Amino acid sequence: MRDSLPMKNTSATPLGAGAKRSTPSGGLQAWLPRLVLAPSVAISLFFVYGFMLWTFVLSLTSSRMLPSYDFVGFGQYSRLMANERWWVASTNLMIFGVLFVLICLVIGSLLAILLDQKIRQEGALRTIYLYPMALSFIVTGVVWKWLLNPQLGIQAMVQGWGFESFRFDWITNPDMAIYTLVIAAVWQASGFVMALFLAGLRGIDDSIVKAAQLDGASLPRIYWRVVMPCLRPVVFSAVMILAHIAIKSFDLVVALTGGGPGYATDLPATFMYAHAFTRAQIGLGSASAMLMLGGVLAILIPYLYSELRSRKHG
């Protein structure tokens, strides 16, 4: 052995004979991982990307009852922009989305901080706060429709207690009905935000808090100045997820208000469904679906960008 290598003259394969092969493996084995992934990739390409493109194509056509392929450019988009109901739906989404996200964040973080004070029965409380997340939005809608019903629900109950002038009839009031969606959605999802924050709090290094205590900071101040800044990523993910839920909200509206009174509580998701499936406006419905996709991307891309960046740096 040592430095000089005996040159092989037996079994002298030409150099690089196998260099084209990408991995030392016997035929099929090398391709198995790719073969296993292939159906999923194909599914993804066809059912996600293909369908997105397909919907985009439909949105450029004048399709009504059935898809047709006579193109009208961006005509459906200008129709959409001129459609009052679309604007109501979009405005509703803004109101609903902003309130839903903010209130969930506030309630979720508060409950998490309170629960983090060595509470007896913490497990039971956590279970109660979080269980609505296991329910279908349809169930949530049915229950809250009943609770918000002026004749039989909360209003009737409080009036029954002797407060005759008590009014809580938002669900029948076109100006207020959108807020009932917020109430039901917050009821369903705020426990989840609590769980996210609690996991974040439990992940924080104890010594940071101890150091702040030694520095003489009060408890609320420690939370506000030391702990919350550490939870920035949690806030970020929570906003991301909640916004996503808000944009996709469909079932809740259907079950709680049916979009009504009139179309006062329409959201883009219900708008799209109504036009594409019941009002024979496939072109218009497709255009609205594309705008929804745009909305999701507008939230998703900055999120993914910062995720990837922080991962590279971190």
Of 21-40, binders to another protein (CB under 8 A) are 21-26, 29, 32-34, 36-37, 39-40
Q: Which stretch binds another protein (CB under 8 A): 16-24, 78-86, 94-102, 165-173?
A: 16-24
Half-sphere CA count of 148, side-chain side, radius 13 A: 23
Query: Between 149 and 173, whose beta carbon lies closer to another protein?
Result: 149
Q: Which stretch binds another protein (CB under 8 A): 73-81, 87-95, 167-175, 196-204?
A: 196-204
User: Tokens representing 285?
Assistant: 């419905």
Query: Between 98 and 157, whose beta carbon lies closer to another protein?
Result: 157
Of 47-106, binders to another protein (CB under 8 A) are 47-52, 54-55, 58, 67
Query: Between 98 and 123, whose beta carbon lies closer to another protein?
Result: 123
Does residue 257 bind another protein (CB under 8 A)? no
Query: Between 265 and 285, whose beta carbon lies closer to another protein?
Result: 285
Does residue 152 bind another protein (CB under 8 A)? yes
CB of 235 to another protein, least distance (A): 12
CB–CB of 259/242 below 8 Å? Answer: no
Cβ neighbours, 10 Å, residue 180: 24
Of 38-57, binders to another protein (CB under 8 A) are 39-41, 43-45, 47-52, 54-55
Does residue 284 bind another protein (CB under 8 A)? no
The Cα–Cα gap between 144 and 262 comes to 19
